[in-house]
Amino acid sequence: LPYCETHYHAKRGSLCAGCSKPITGRCITAMFKKFHPEHFVCAFCLKQLNKGTFKEQNDKPYCHQCFDKLFG
């Protein structure tokens, strides 16, 4: 069966968890999800994160500063 682009990426698991749009270029995989690099951001301050520079709480990524402020 042929799929539209969105359903093709949904079936492959290559939709961005931040914007729900297809990922066709670079991506970050974190928390068992995929993100466009610009959509992998702190859930509180919205600062862009890198794969190894975040902490997770309630299935959301946080920068270290916000995590410590909110949960520390």
- For residues 33-61, give the mean pLDDT: 95
| pTM exceeding the 0.75 threshold for the entire prediction | yes
Residue 14, pLDDT above cutoff 90: no
Residue 10, pLDDT above cutoff 80: no
Of 7, 48, 9, 6, give the one whose Cα is nearest residue 30.
Answer: 48
Per-domain boundaries in the chain: 5-71
Q: Which one of 3.30.70.260, 2.10.110.10, 3.40.50.1980, 3.40.50.720 gives the CATH number of domain 5-71?
A: 2.10.110.10
Q: What percent of the chain has pLDDT over 70?
A: 96
DSSP state of 37: G
**C-beta neighbour count of 57 within 10 angstroms:** 14
What integer pLDDT is reported at residue 7 of this predicted model?
Answer: 78
What integer pLDDT is reported at residue 3 of this predicted model?
Answer: 79
What integer pLDDT is reported at residue 41 of this predicted model?
Answer: 98
> Please, which residues have CB within 8 angstroms of residue 18's CB and are 6 or more apart in sequence?
35, 36, 39, 40, 41
